[in-house]
Amino acid sequence: MKPFYFLFLVICLPIHAMDFYLNKTDDLVMRGNIQGGDFKKFLNIYSNLKSPPKAFYVHSEGGNLEEAMLIGEVIRQSYIPLVAPVKCSSACFFLYASAVQRKANGNLGLHRPYFDPVYFSNLSPSNAEQEYNRLISLSRAYLRRMGISEEYIEKMFSVDSQDIWQISSDESDEMFGFRIPAFDEWLIAKCGKTSTGDDKVLRSYSVLQAIRLVDGDFSKLKLSQTELLEKASLALELEKAGLIEEYVQRFYSRLDCENAATDSHIRQVFSSYKKSSD
């Protein structure tokens, strides 16, 4: 029987092979189809950077699942945030799931994994079942280890390989969270937690700032003018009373603490990869 690690595991192939490069803002961009050998390419580029990237930016419709999981293990250890700015589907979701901080600005596309059809169709039914069960077991174990709930794992594996479950940006935030719980609790232990009152004010303030950024052109924002003004009203009242600054200062103080704590760990992990590549 052909070993799992020699198989080309496909989940929806796009046109272009994956490229790895550092952009102008020091983010490590991964764009294209995940192929065999991409883990080594990724590790070589990552470990030879002068300093850790600010974030991983992933644009991919899928590809080689084994390579995606290997890359995902490094992303999890790195504690570097991951952003999927446009689309992240199939095997790419395994990269997204691995990040301790993650944000999908476009849709996530999920379905169950499958083998290269040429290889899989030449197996006997019993061997195909055995190989497929092995693949499913490895995939499930990985997603559980990355903290994806059983509910969503089951939903993903109920969608056949020729179909796709589209998850919007807002839905992905709600379903998978911006941070994994363990990392969130670690930051709370280090830097404290924003109070419910502060959080309410800061959410209102972010809406107010968004309105100002688009110079009152509400068509550029998702909500209606009435909804936006209602959400911004609390921050506007506090700003007029000269009270908003204390909330903003507390927010940035906590953010500075979180960034300092996270940056220290990121650099330690990055340094260990650089040493191992020397």
Q: Are residues 148 and 12 in the same domain?
A: yes
Q: Are residues 65 and 160 in the same domain?
A: yes
Q: Are residues 171 and 218 in the same domain?
A: no
Q: Are residues 138 and 190 in the same domain?
A: no
Q: Are residues 10 and 133 in the same domain?
A: yes
Count of domains in the chain? 2
Please, which contacts does 98-104 make with residues 24 or more away whose CB atoms are closer than 8 Å? 98/71, 98/72, 98/73, 98/146, 99/56, 99/75, 100/76, 100/179, 100/180, 100/182, 100/183, 101/178, 101/179, 101/183, 102/176, 102/178, 103/169, 103/173, 103/178, 104/167, 104/169, 104/172, 104/173
Q: What is the mean pLDDT of each run of 10 residues along the chain (278 residues)?
A: 35 63 95 94 94 96 93 97 94 96 95 81 86 89 95 94 92 93 94 90 91 83 87 93 93 93 94 81
Q: Are residues 27 and 139 in the same domain?
A: yes
Residue range(s) defining the domain that contains residue 215:
185-277
Confidence (pLDDT) at 67: 94
